[in-house]
Amino acid sequence: MEKFRYEANGYNKEDVNHFLSRVIKEMDSAIEMIRVQREEIHCLNDKLKKYQELEKVQDDIVLNAKTMASQILNDSLKEIEEKRKILDSEYLQMRKKLQLIVEQQQAVIKDIDHLKSEDE
């Protein structure tokens, strides 16, 4: 606590003026610090908003990428399934043709055997 010297008309003016000067300087310093901190808070709030916007954009990009990847995967699976069906159908056709060729060869062999037995 500051103590002032007494004079005939009250406190010593020089002591009071010195004290008031110190208080004014401290108040000016505190006000300046508050102003700087408010600017920092405003700047940080702006940065926070930008980061939040970027985070939302990033979330949207990730969601869009997941959706596109899922669509590509589904389309690929459908295409693979369609090609598998075509291959299955072609396989069955080839098998039937091969089976027919084998049967025809067996018939030819049978005819040859029959002709041999007639010649003997």
Q: Is the pLDDT of residue 85 over 90?
A: yes
Q: Is the separation of the CB atoms in 2 and 14 below 8 Å?
A: no
Q: Residue 55: which domain range?
A: 6-88
> What is the DSSP annotation of 25-76?
HHHHHHHHHHHHHHHHHHHHHHHHHHHHHHHHHHHHHHHHHHHHHHHHHHHH
Question: Is 93 part of a structural domain of the chain?
Answer: no
pLDDT confidence of residue 20: 94
- Structure tokens belonging to residue 116: 């041999």
C-alpha span between 47 and 42 (Å, rounded): 9
Domains of the chain: total: 1
On whether residue 118 sits in a domain, the answer given is no
Asked whether residue 56 is domain-assigned, the answer is yes
Prediction pTM value: 0.50
Residue 109 lies in a domain: no
| Cβ pair 5, 12 in contact under 8 A | yes
% of the chain exceeding 90 in pLDDT: 78
Is residue 108, in this structure, part of any structural domain at all? no
Is 79 among the domain residues? yes
Per-residue pLDDT of 58-84, as tens digits, reads: 999 999 999 999 999 999 999 999 999
On whether residue 102 sits in a domain, the answer given is: no
